[in-house]
Amino acid sequence: MKRLIERGLMFGNLVHVTSPVLVERYNRALMHLTGKSTALGDFHVDISGFSPEIGAELDDELYLNHNGVNRQFILLTTEQKRAPLLNAKFSTSRTILRSFIETNEAQLFALTAKDAVAGELVNSVFRVESPARLFDIRRIKVEADTTAGTVATAGRLGRLIDRFKQEDDAWFDDVLIAQMIELARQTGDVVRNPVALAHTEFEQDNFWTAHFGGLYIFRDVAEPAAIAAGDKAALGALPIESVYDLRDRTKIAIFLEVNGLAEPIVRARGIDAAAILYQKMDFVVAELAARLGEDLRGATRRDLRALGRRHAERLPEEYHGLAALARWAEDGGPWPRITSEHPAYFYTLRAAAVPDADLVNRLLAQLSPLDIRQLFICHKEAFYDAYARWPEEKRAYVADFLAREYQVDKAGTRDALFGHEASMDEPQNIAPPAPRPDDLIARVGPWGAVRRS
């Protein structure tokens, strides 16, 4: 993993904590949350305040995420909103934390100017003893305050102010006035500068969890389902009708189609579909070449195509399916019929413009693991796990490729691969054109409607 760290592909964009004042605040918050402290003088933190250095020091990678549920967090600065979330157990956790920080940025900026803000993503489940318990998680509430309790104190002061305004004889209540003055010394003027945190509850209907080998739960769709990364039989009884694992390719294809969650790359607006398909083909060649012991250091696209020609007879079905579709997209070659059982099928899809597009792309990345770029962007956990098991030749190529072609323009690459242009509505007084073959594709899917068996 050292190569990934050196290239900023692992532990990148963490916030470096070097100030003795911030270290002291962090320790105060850490003791407040966990009863532990660090002896380190500087360290890096993610969006939740988790530090890999402190995790190693304490020999506890979950020191802010006990049992992998109800993640705790420490905010030293609102700049943490740009950092990743390490050791994520739920796909929604970073989104919730970032939304919370951005919604309350002015308040949190003022609070962290004097103290650390400590808190927790709370739900009604404190331990997931079985997969079925995951379905009890529906709403996440963010509880946060400074270590000195400024938010809670401001709440008490606000209630006293309301009482002072409402009671007729409050001007003569010396005890009430004395309490207000004492609390105001701690919080400042909460009338002009309210100390209250908004938007603290979030729904969690559709999500991925790392628990039980990885599990996707889709509840807020027309036809709900759970999809396991491992053996679905090991999950036991679940409170949902449809349960699949990654081997159920046709069932997953049907699930994506009937819920309108995915679209074929060749139908996506505003992207160069052929270029994306050719890049995916290069990744397939790299996988084969690495297994054959080829030197991939500094390999260019031309080098990979040469390797593809050299080992043409060994190229897998993923390559041939993508090549056929690329020929169709680029110069009108024959339309390839690729069923959901074809190894290339999920490589040809991306998430549709739906609220859970990131979750769908995460699932598609796991279903098309040879696409190392999509795996890295959409499913970091699966990427790091796979990277550890790759031959050295592939690790060198992947790290070099991502540093050279992804790190330089992350936002642009993500937008080119997964962004969605606004639809262009036809004027109402113009008759629609005659149906074309690709209009039919849009209605029934890229390879024809996926039929239930």
Question: Per the domain annotation, does 406 fall within a domain?
Answer: yes
pLDDT at 157: 57
Length in residues, the chain = 453
**How is residue 220 written in tokens?**
């807020």
Residue 155 in any domain: the answer is no
* 235 domain residue, yes or no: no
Residues 129 and 273 in one domain: no
Residues in CB range of 162: below 8 A, 6 or more apart: none
Can you give the pLDDT at residue 120?
94
The residue with tokens 């929604």 is: 92
Cα–Cα distance for residue pair 230/216, rounded to 1 Å: 11
Q: How many CB atoms lie within 10 A of CB 281?
A: 26
264 and 138 co-located in one domain: no
Whether 19 and 142 map to the same domain: the answer is yes
Select from 106, 130, 147 the last residue of a domain.
147
Same domain, 132 and 278: no
Per-residue pLDDT of the chain (453 residues; tens, 9 = 90+): 888 988 888 988 899 999 999 999 999 999 999 999 999 999 999 999 999 999 999 999 999 999 899 899 999 999 999 999 999 999 999 999 999 999 999 888 888 888 899 999 998 788 899 999 999 999 999 998 888 777 766 666 556 656 766 777 766 667 666 765 666 666 655 444 446 787 788 988 999 999 999 999 999 999 999 999 999 999 999 999 999 999 999 999 999 999 999 999 988 777 888 899 999 999 999 999 999 999 888 888 899 999 999 999 999 999 999 999 998 888 777 788 889 999 999 999 999 999 999 999 999 999 999 999 999 999 999 999 999 999 998 999 999 999 988 887 888 888 888 887 654 333 333 233 333 444 444 444 444 545 444
**Among the three residues 119, 147, 175, which one is the final residue of a domain in this structure?**
147
DSSP string for 359-408: HHHHHHHHHSTT-HHHHHHH-HHHHHHHHTTS-HHHHHHHHHHHHHHTGG
3-state secondary structure of 289: helix
Residue 185, in any domain of the structure: no
What sign does the CA torsion over 98, 104, 108, 110 have? positive
The pLDDT score that the predictor gives to residue 445 is 47
What per-residue confidence (pLDDT) applies to 152?
63
pLDDT given for residue 141 in this prediction: 93
Q: Which of 147, 167, 187 is the last residue before a domain boundary?
A: 147
156 domain residue, yes or no:
no
Q: Which helix (H) or strand (E) segment is 75 a member of?
A: strand 72-75
Question: Structural domain tally of the chain?
Answer: 2
Task: State the residue range of the domain holding 305.
Answer: 259-435
Report pTM.
0.84
Same domain, 289 and 411: yes
174 sits in the region (left: phi over 0; alpha: psi -120 to 50; else beta) called alpha
Q: What is residue 296's DSSP assignment?
A: -
Instruction: Tell whether 177 is covered by a domain.
Output: no
What 3-state class would DSSP assign to 450? coil
The pLDDT assigned to 195 comes to 60
**Residue 165, in any domain of the structure:** no
Provide the pLDDT for residue 177.
64
Question: Does 158 map to a domain?
Answer: no
The residues pairing with 117 across neighbouring beta strands, listed in sequence order, are 75, 146
Residue 142 shares a structural domain with residue 264: no
